[in-house]
Amino acid sequence: MSQTAPLLPADDPDLATLTLDELELRWADAAGRGAISAEAMTGADRKAQALGIPAERLMEQAGTAVAAAARALVAHNAREGRPVLVLGGPGNNGGDGFVAARRLAGWGVPVIAVLVSGDERPGTPDAARNWRRLDGLANVTLIHAPVARDVAILGQGIERAGIIVDALLGTGVRGALREPIRTAVEVIQRAREAGTPVLAVDTPTAVDLTSGDPSQPVVRADLTVTFHRPKLGLRTKLGRALAGRVLVAPIGIPAEADRG
């Protein structure tokens, strides 16, 4: 496999069979790139789209990578047979989680996908599309949790989940968390304290990808899957402690999108 053209997650036929160590090796090229800030990552994403790579395709790659890591984390903790709980927020971070839910379901993994938002659908077109694609799929249970009380009820018995996927918020966190996201983070905290592993999408919710500084409450993850390049915030002492093990997955952003 060429280092200059690595196999992307959605195009990798073996992805659903790999361990965490094997995924790390598979994506070593992305992990070896220089670390960037959240702002630089947003710029690279936009430039990739300007170069003709659809945002939907980037989300498909990211979500597929998350699915592979989620399946591997379940196996690593010997929690097979339990449903994977995907908590998705209203933006593109949630969209990545919903892609992961669809991929996991296609691999035969039971999934509970939850939209944690006051709105009936995600607020970005690509995330909304991937939320709709889950409707009626085998192995998928869909739940809408529009208020804190719904999220709190969801937290009852959450320790029965195989793992929790934190796809609540990515780079867009500013200031204190609002409901129902805040309660969802608290539910994740309690579940992890009770022994349920947590996988964060791009960054643990409320951890700044540039500085590594958290707001409160904050998700503490066992594994974080970030995209394209390592992030500066996940390399700080505090960011590293909250992110747990970090995998960097390629999603098809070309080198030209990193320049200028």
CB 100 within 8 A of CB 94: no
Cα–Cα distance, 213 to 38 (Å, whole number): 13
pLDDT-derived band at 2 (thresholds 50, 70, 90) equals very low
3-state secondary structure of 226: strand
Average pLDDT value for the chain: 94
Q: Which of 252, 215, 226 is nearest to 36 (CA)?
A: 226
Q: CATH class for domain 19-254?
A: alpha beta
pLDDT at 226 over 80: yes
CA dihedral 238, 212, 36, 102 (to 10 degrees): 100
SS3 of the chain: helix, strand, coil, percent, to 5 = 45, 15, 40
Per-residue DSSP letter, 56: H
pLDDT at 157: 86
Cα–Cα distance, 198 to 224 (Å, whole number): 8
pLDDT, tens only, 61-119 = 999 999 999 999 999 999 999 999 999 999 999 999 999 999 999 999 999 999 999 99
Mean pLDDT of the region 24-50: 96
- For the entire predicted model, the pTM comes to 0.96
In the sheet with 163-167, reading across from the earlier edge strand, the strands are 140-145, 111-116, 84-88, 163-167, 198-201, 223-227, 245-249
Residue with tokens 């970005």: 124
pLDDT at 172: 60
pLDDT at 210 over 60: yes
Burial class (CB in 10 A: 0-12, 13-18, 19+), 4: exposed
Cα–Cα distance, 241 to 35 (Å, whole number): 17
pLDDT at 211: 94
> Any idea where the domains of the chain sit in the sequence?
19-254
Burial class (CB in 10 A: 0-12, 13-18, 19+), 29: middle
CB 39 within 8 A of CB 71: no
pLDDT at 192: 96
